[in-house]
C-alpha cells in the first residue's frame, strides 16, 4: 500500500490553511519535513460526517476528538483532527473529501451520506495514496475490496436487531399478561424505522421481529414507517398511530433511541394509564435517562466510543507504517466490528459509567 507521508510529492501535499501565511522559507521547511523520506511528527486526520445533526454520530465525533487529544499527550505527536459536517448531502461531502485531500490529510475517515458514493471516494483516496476508514455506514463489499488501504469500522446491524427482539421476547416470557394487553396471545406492534435503505434500518427491522417469531411468539404489525433516525419525525408518526390504534399498540420497536424518545414524546402528550413497551438502539445519554425513569424499557448499546477508538488505533497504525492487524481486531483484512450489548434497568449502572 502506498502511504502519502512517504510518497507524497510537493505540491500535492499542502499544509493546513493556517500555515499558508508562513514566510516562504519556513513554509518550505514545513513541507519538506512533512513530505520528505523522514518521519513526519504531525498527523492530519480528515473526518467527514454524514450529518452532525444526529445524536449518535455527533457523540461519536466528540469521543474521537477526546481520544485524539489523549493520544496527542500520550505520544507527544501533533495530531490535527478536521471534522466536516456533510449535512446529509453527498455532493457537499464529496467537496469536503476533496478539500481534506488538498489539505494533505494523512488519513480520511468517512461516514458516508450515501453508501453508493463509496467507490468514487475510494478511488480519490487511492490516487493520493491516503488510507481510508469508512465508519457507521457500511459500503458494499466490492467497494471495500477496491484497494488494500480501505477499512470499515462499525457494528453488525443484524446483531442489534436480534438483541432488541430478545429484550421484548424476555419481557413476553416473564410477564406475558402485562404485554399482551388484549389477551389475544399475539403481540401487536409498530415499527419506527431509520433511513430507508440504510442497512441498520433494514436489518434491525427484520431481525428484531425474527427473534420473537423464532422464540415462538405470534406477532401482528399494526404499522411501520421511516422516521429517518429523527426524534421529531418519530413523534409525529407515533401521534398518528396513537390516534389510529390507541391502546392497541402493545410494543414500539424503534431502530434507534432518538426515534424511541420521539415515541415517548408523543405518549407524554396524550395522558394515558398504560404505555406500550418501547425499545431502542444506541444507548445515548438521554435514552439511558429514559430507561432509568422507566419510560424506555430497554435499548441496545451501540459502542460509538469503541468505534472511535478503533478508528484512531487504525489511523495511528497506518500512519506509523505498522501492521493494522496488530492495532485492531481486523477481519478479512478490512473490517473492525464492535459488539452490541443489551441495556435494561438491571444493568444500567454499567453504562452510566462509560
Q: Kindly list the residues in this chain that would bind Ca ion in the complex (CB under 5 A).
A: 180, 182, 184, 186, 188
Q: Find which of ligand GAL, Ca ion, none residue 302 binds, CB within 5 to 8 Å per kind.
A: ligand GAL
Beta bridge partners of 190: 223, 252
Nearest to 194 by CA among 124, 136, 269: 136
First CA to last CA distance, the chain: 36
Q: Considering CB distances under 5 to 8 angstroms, the limit depending on partner class, which of ligand GAL, Ca ion, none binds residue 182?
A: Ca ion
Q: Which does 180 bind (CB under 5 to 8 A by kind): ligand GAL, Ca ion, none?
A: Ca ion
Least distance between ligand GAL and beta carbon 308 (Å): 13
Beta bridge pairs of residue 186: 218
Burial of 282 (0-12, 13-18, 19+ CB in 10 A): buried
Site string for ligand GAL, 3-32 (x = CB under 6 A): ------------------------------
Cα 192-198-200 angle, rounded to 5 deg: 65
Determine the Cα–Cα distance for residues 351 and 43; give it in Å rounded to an integer: 32
Shorter beta-carbon distance to Ca ion: residue 35 or 209: 209
Number of residues engaging ligand GAL in binding (CB under 6 A) = 11
DSSP string, 78-111: EEEEEEEE-TT-HHHHHHHHHHHHHTT-SEEEE-
Q: Are 297 and 273 in contact (CB under 8 A)?
A: no
Would you say 188 or 205 has its CB closer to ligand GAL?
A: 205
CB of 280 vs ligand GAL, minimal distance in Å:
9
Instruction: Give whichever of 136 and 208 is closer to ligand GAL, judged by the CB atom.
Output: 136
Is there binding between residue 110 and ligand GAL (CB under 6 A)? no
Task: Report how far residue 251's alpha carbon sits from residue 138's, in angstroms, rounded to the nearest whole number.
Answer: 29
Quick one: which of 13, 43, 48, 54 contacts ligand GAL (CB under 6 A)? 54
From 63, 85, 180, 200, residue interacting with ligand GAL (rule: CB under 6 A): 200
* 256 contact, one of Ca ion, ligand GAL, none, CB 5-8 Å limit per kind: ligand GAL
Strand pairing partners for 282? 301
CA–centroid distance for 58 within its chain: 9
Q: Does 231 participate in binding ligand GAL (rule CB under 6 A)?
A: no
Span 291-330, contacts to ligand GAL by CB under 6 A: 302
What residue number has its CB nearest to Ca ion?
180
Nearer to ligand GAL, 13 or 310 (CB): 310
Residue 190 is placed in which grid cell?
409498530
Interacting residues with ligand GAL between 112 and 171 (CB under 6 A): 136-137
Separate counts of helices (H) and strands (E) for the chain: 15, 12
Q: Binding segment for ligand GAL among 51-59, 79-87, 145-153, 178-186 (CB under 6 A)?
A: 51-59
Q: How far is the CB of 139 from ligand GAL (least distance, A)?
A: 13
If you write DSSP's letter for every residue of 166-225 in order, what string do you get?
HHHHHHHHH-HHHH-TT-SSEEEEEEEE-STT-HHHHHHHHHHHHHHHHTT-EEEEEEEE
CB 178 to Ca ion: min, Å: 11
- Compute the distance between CA of residue 107 and CA of residue 154 in angstroms, rounded to an integer: 17
Tell whether residue 229 is a contact of ligand GAL (CB under 6 A). Answer: yes
Contact of residue 229 among ligand GAL, Ca ion, none (CB under 5-8 Å per partner type): ligand GAL
Instruction: Tell me the C-alpha distance between 72 and 87, whole Å.
Output: 29
Contact set with ligand GAL (CB under 6 A): 54, 56-57, 136-137, 200, 229, 256, 281-282, 302
Amino acid at each position: 500500500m502506498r502511504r502519502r507521508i512517504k510518497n507524497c510529492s510537493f505540491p500535492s501535499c499542502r499544509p493546513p490553511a493556517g500555515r499558508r501565511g508562513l514566510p516562504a522559507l519556513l513554509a518550505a521547511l514545513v513541507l519538506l519535513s512533512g513530505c520528505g523520506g523522514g518521519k513526519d511528527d504531525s498527523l492530519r486526520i480528515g473526518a467527514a460526517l454524514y450529518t452532525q445533526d444526529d445524536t449518535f454520530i455527533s457523540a461519536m465525533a466528540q469521543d474521537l476528538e477526546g481520544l485524539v487529544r489523549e493520544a496527542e499527550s500520550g505520544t507527544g505527536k501533533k495530531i490535527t483532527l478536521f471534522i466536516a459536517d456533510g449535512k446529509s448531502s453527498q455532493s457537499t461531502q464529496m467537496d469536503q473529501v476533496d478539500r481534506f485531500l488538498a489539505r494533505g490529510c494523512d488519513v480520511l475517515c468517512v461516514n458516508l451520506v450515501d453508501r453508493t458514493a463509496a467507490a468514487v471516494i475510494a478511488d480519490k483516496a487511492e490516487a493520493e495514496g491516503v488510507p481510508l476508514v469508512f465508519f457507521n455506514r457500511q459500503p458494499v463489499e466490492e467497494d471495500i475490496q477496491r484497494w488494500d488501504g480501505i477499512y470499515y469500522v462499525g457494528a453488525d446491524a443484524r446483531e442489534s436487531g436480534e438483541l432488541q427482539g430478545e429484550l421484548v421476547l424476555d419481557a413476553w416470557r416473564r410477564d406475558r399478561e402485562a404485554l399482551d394487553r388484549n389477551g389475544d396471545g399475539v403481540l401487536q406492534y409498530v415499527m419506527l424505522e431509520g433511513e430507508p435503505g440504510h442497512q441498520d434500518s433494514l436489518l434491525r427491522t427484520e431481525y428484531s421481529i425474527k427473534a420473537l417469531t423464532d422464540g415462538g411468539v405470534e406477532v401482528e404489525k399494526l404499522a411501520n414507517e421511516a422516521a429517518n433516525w429523527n426524534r421529531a419525525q418519530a413523534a409525529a408518526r407515533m401521534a398518528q398511530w396513537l390516534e389510529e390504534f390507541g391502546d392497541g399498540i402493545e410494543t414500539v420497536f424503534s431502530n434507534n433511541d432518538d426515534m424511541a424518545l420521539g415515541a415517548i414524546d408523543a405518549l407524554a402528550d396524550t395522558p394515558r394509564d398504560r404505555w406500550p413497551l418501547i425499545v431502542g438502539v444506541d444507548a445515548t445519554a438521554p435514552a439511558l435517562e429514559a430507561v432509568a425513569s422507566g419510560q424506555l424499557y430497554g435499548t441496545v448499546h451501540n459502542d460509538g466510543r469503541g468505534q472511535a477508538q478503533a478508528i484512531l488505533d487504525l489511523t495511528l497504525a497506518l500512519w506509523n507504517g505498522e501492521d493494522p492487524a496488530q492495532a485492531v481486531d481486523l477481519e478479512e483484512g478490512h473490517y473492525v466490528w464492535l459488539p452490541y450489548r443489551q441495556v435494561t434497568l438491571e444493568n444500567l449502572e454499567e453504562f452510566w459509567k462509560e
